């Protein structure tokens, strides 16, 4: 590395009274310090004015390994100043000040006004592995000092129910229910990402905040100062990758269950929705379309109940719906992919799902499945994976992938399992990046195959950077309980605060067994206890980036819950229709996510950081920048059963039939109430009644079974679309623009061809809209851009909460509406 000496020698007194020479050198992007006593070297590198990389290493030279998550390289022309005192080196860019202590090698970060942001606490710890599979590496730890009342967010998606991640010790390793990323951001407007993929213990207590990684070569973290949560997310995406656009249809309603057992059943479900006139855009085929478990994930329709996959896809497409299909990170020993991967030593030798080769429950240990996970870190293995996926399924016109077990499943875990060799070293060394690699392999290969169909991947696990791979992560096989519903809100918000905006969960919970009299007798939709939970979960799911009903033990289709005119059925249909009405708002928000680094599910602290009431609020959030969502998360009509269930006990069905008495009489027509807090600093409108309310207050909102409390922030402009059966059934030639006065506001209506990558070449339109509160004027600006087949003209119905309404014809030229 080329260095430039800019400082002489500084003399420091050691305990022995001897002088020690310090050496500080200027590098192309920062400085390098050799800490006295030959303890370690420290390099500080500016990647952008607001993103700083810190590397500390005990070796003679800095380790150089290609990052799996980071895609950004340091910019050559970053301007920063370097000053040196006897005790410290001070680096200042246009965004942040970094102070490096020359004696201890510790760093502190501040904004340009000198306000302290984050400080390292003590020296790093490097504990070398003297033997074993990771010999030559270190266990690495670095601690930091946070303010006592400082709230932090992130760490991936956890099932702890916590919003702020303070005051806990948490072992972070990928699993069915939890997605781990060594990242957090602070209410002070900075973020910290550690570029390490091994399991890690995160600790926050009175002694400090630390990441203790099981294996690594060095301390290697990125400090980013965005000024606020959106700025941190923008830095994180610049560092680890931007978000591609999803097809419009992916934001419609999805139906699924464990599992449709024939292609006739799949097609029949879509047909039933069309017959009932209930909107639907996606149907998902879960596992075993390949047959028995020895053929696990064969990527072929070897099950005789799926005799003509091309006809199945054609039938689904003929009803203007789309289909996703389950694929896994593992293969049964009788499959073609297994045999090719095994011949190249690209399979791992630890126990994974399913345990037995025979169908039925419980698993028969006399007939082990022999299923093995593949080495997704290997480029050759990823090529093989796509070859069979392309030849066996994609060729039929499959629209999307449901990549299950991307954690991957790891049964009967033994510490030695992490000694497995991968293409990139031991499994321990790269464990948490497994979902990033296997999901990225499918995305990259499909993008190389065609640009006519946008990649859409529903997957069970995520790691920072995965947002660049067209992935929507769901929260795993959560049990059907009110407690688990409550946990999903902070789980999705913290995941989003890591820079990964597409998240969803199984509406109704995956394991509904406790609401059935016995396993899989399908009684849950008739059980009032489950009906109430499902309706409230559906209302929450309406305001997540993917609205998907799915689960085991019982069917989840709307018609299983009754029929039109019945309260539960109507409550479910009401939310599905609302979702489709909001598609212009949702799709335009998607563009804000991709183009301007925004976020769908926004913790209230993102938009109201000055209101300390919301710093640790885990039961409300913004959906886009207009809607405040306050889902009903407690039972109001039925007993709230408490159930402890994880993915293993759920699969064992130990909890079937323990939900309580479902034969009681419950009156769903009664009016109830739910607590709501409206953040201070703005005016709010009740979405359902248009009642105007001041922020900074908590109150009880009257609710009914079919009503979720929703509020719109003053200054918002919300476009409402047509009544449709699927997302693209009707053009947006007549849109209602709901304008909520009380503050200035703006919105950009975005449109493109909805399902290809031509938008990357500029084939899209933006229609900017601004509301001026003082003059009560809505300005609809000149249309920007164009694409084939775009609407040349349309009608806008402009409406305010007080009932005022005007209809205007828009031809792409600027116009103003006075209200």
Burial of 626 (0-12, 13-18, 19+ CB in 10 A): buried
pTM: 0.96
| Residue 19 three-state SS | strand
On whether the CB atoms of residues 609 and 270 are closer than 8 A, the answer is no
What span, in angstroms and rounded, lies between the C-alpha atoms of 543 and 621? 10
102 closest CA partner among 24, 27, 39, 6: 24
Task: Provide the pLDDT for residue 322.
Answer: 98
Tokens of 678: 């409206």
Angle at 524 between CA 522 and CA 525, to 5 degrees: 95
User: Which pairing describes strands 627-629 and 710-713: parallel, antiparallel, or unpaired?
Assistant: antiparallel
Which residue carries 């799926």 as its tokens?
A: 306
For each successive 10 residues of the chain (819 residues), what is the average pLDDT?
34 28 85 93 98 96 95 92 96 98 97 98 97 96 98 98 98 98 98 98 98 98 98 98 98 97 98 98 97 97 98 98 98 98 98 90 90 98 98 98 98 93 98 98 98 97 98 96 97 98 97 73 86 98 98 94 98 98 99 98 98 98 99 96 68 58 79 98 98 98 98 98 98 98 98 98 98 98 98 98 97 97
Name the class of domain 717-818: mainly beta
Burial of 556 (0-12, 13-18, 19+ CB in 10 A): buried
Tokens of 533: 């939970």
Which residue carries 């269930």 as its tokens?
A: 645
Q: Do domains 4-240 and 717-818 have the same CATH topology?
A: yes
Task: Provide the pLDDT for residue 513.
Answer: 78
On whether the CB atoms of residues 338 and 345 are closer than 8 A, the answer is no
Name the class of domain 4-240: mainly beta
Could you tell me the residue ranges of all domains in the chain?
4-240, 717-818
On whether the CB atoms of residues 356 and 369 are closer than 8 A, the answer is yes
340 closest CA partner among 372, 293, 303, 307: 372
Question: What CA–CA distances, in Å, run from 769 to 588, 598, 719, 801?
Answer: 12, 18, 11, 18
CB count in 10 Å sphere of residue 148: 6
Task: Provide the pLDDT for residue 363.
Answer: 85
């Amino acid at each position: 590395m080329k260095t430039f000496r800019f400082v002489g020698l500084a003399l420091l007194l050691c305990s022995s009274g001897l002088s020690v020479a310090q050496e500080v050198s200027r590098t192309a992007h920062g400085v390098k310090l050799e800490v006295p006593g030959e303890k370690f070297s420290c390099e500080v590198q500016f990647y952008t004015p607001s993103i700083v990389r810190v590397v500390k290493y005990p070796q003679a030279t800095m380790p150089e390994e290609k990052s799996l998550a980071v895609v950004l390289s340091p910019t050559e022309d970053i301007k920063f100043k370097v000053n040196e005192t006897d005790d410290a080196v001070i680096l200042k860019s246009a965004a942040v000040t970094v102070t490096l202590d020359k004696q201890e090698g510790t760093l502190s970060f501040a904004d340009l006004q000198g306000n302290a942001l984050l400080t390292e606490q003590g020296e790093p710890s490097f504990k070398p592995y003297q033997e074993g599979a990771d010999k030559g590496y270190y266990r690495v730890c670095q601690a930091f000092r946070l303010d006592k009342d400082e709230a932090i967010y992130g760490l991936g998606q956890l099932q702890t129910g916590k919003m702020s991640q303070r005051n806990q010790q948490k072992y972070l390793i990928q699993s069915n229910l939890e997605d781990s990323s060594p990242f957090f951001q602070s209410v002070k407007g900075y973020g910290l990402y550690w570029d390490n993929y091994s399991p890690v213990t995160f600790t926050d207590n009175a002694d400090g905040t630390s990441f203790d990684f099981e294996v690594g070569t060095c301390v290697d973290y990125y400090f980013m100062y965005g000024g606020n949560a959106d700025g941190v997310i923008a830095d994180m995406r610049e560092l680890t990758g931007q978000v591609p656009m999803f097809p419009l249809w992916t934001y419609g309603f999805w139906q699924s269950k464990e599992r449709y057992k024939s292609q006739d059943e799949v097609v029949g479900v879509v047909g039933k929705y069309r017959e009932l006139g209930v909107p639907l855009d996606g149907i998902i085929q879960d596992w075993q379309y390949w047959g028995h478990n020895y053929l696990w994930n064969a990527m072929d329709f070897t099950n005789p109940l799926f005799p003509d996959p091309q006809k199945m896809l054609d039938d689904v497409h003929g009803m203007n719906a789309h289909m996703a299909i389950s694929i896994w990170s593992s293969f049964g020993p009788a499959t073609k992919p297994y045999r090719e991967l095994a011949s190249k030593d690209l399979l791992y030798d630890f126990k994974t799902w399913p345990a037995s080769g025979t169908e039925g429950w419980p698993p028969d240990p006399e007939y082990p499945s022999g299923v093995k996970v593949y080495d997704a870190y290997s480029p050759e293995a990823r090529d093989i994976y796509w070859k069979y996926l392309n030849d066996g399924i994609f060729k039929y016109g499959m629209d999307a992938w449901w990549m299950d077990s991307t954690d991957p499943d790891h049964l009967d875990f033994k510490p030695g399992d992490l000694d497995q060799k991968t293409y990139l070293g031991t499994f321990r060394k790269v464990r948490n990046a497994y979902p990033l690699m296997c999901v990225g392999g499918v995305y990259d290969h499909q993008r190389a195959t065609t640009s006519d169909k946008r990649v859409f991947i529903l997957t069970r696990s995520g790691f920072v950077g995965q947002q660049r791979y067209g992935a929507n992560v769901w929260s795993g096989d959560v049990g059907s309980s009110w407690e688990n519903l409550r946990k999903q809100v902070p789980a999705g918000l913290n995941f989003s605060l890591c820079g990964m905006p597409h998240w969803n969960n199984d509406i109704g919970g995956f394991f509904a067994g406790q609401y059935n009299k016995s396993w899989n007798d399908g009684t849950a939709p008739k059980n009032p206890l489950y009906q109430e939970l499902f309706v409230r979960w559906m209302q929450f799911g309406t305001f997540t980036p993917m609205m998907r009903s799915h689960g085991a033990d019982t069917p989840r289709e709307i018609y299983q819950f009754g029929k039109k005119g019945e309260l539960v059925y109507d409550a479910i249909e009401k939310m599905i229709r609302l979702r489709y009405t909001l598609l212009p708002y949702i799709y335009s928000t998607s563009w804000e996510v991709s183009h301007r680094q925004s976020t769908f599910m926004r913790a209230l602290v993102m938009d109201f950081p000055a209101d300390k009431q919301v710093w640790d609020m885990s039961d409300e959030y913004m959906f886009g920048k207009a809607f405040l969502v306050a889902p009903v998360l407690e039972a109001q009509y039925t007993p709230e059963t408490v159930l402890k269930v994880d993915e293993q006990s759920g699969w064992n069905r130990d909890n079937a039939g323990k939900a309580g008495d479902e034969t009681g009489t419950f009156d769903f027509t009664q009016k109830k109430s739910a607590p709501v807090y409206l953040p201070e600093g703005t005016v709010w409108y009740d979405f359902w009644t248009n009642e105007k309310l001041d922020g900074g207050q908590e109150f009880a909102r009257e609710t009914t079974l079919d009503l979720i409390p929703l509020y719109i922030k003053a200054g918002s402009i919300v476009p409402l679309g047509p009544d449709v059966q699927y997302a693209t059934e009707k053009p947006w030639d007549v849109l209602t623009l709901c304008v909520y006065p009380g503050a200035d506001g703006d919105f950009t209506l975005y449109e493109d061809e909805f399902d290809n990558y031509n938008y990357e070449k500029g084939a899209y339109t933006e229609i900017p809209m601004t509301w001026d509160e003082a003059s009560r004027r809505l300005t609809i600006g000149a249309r920007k851009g164009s694409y084939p087949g775009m609407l040349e003209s349309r009608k806008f119905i402009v409406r305010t909460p007080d009932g005022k309404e005007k209809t205007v014809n828009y031809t792409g030229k600027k116009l103003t509406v006075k209200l």
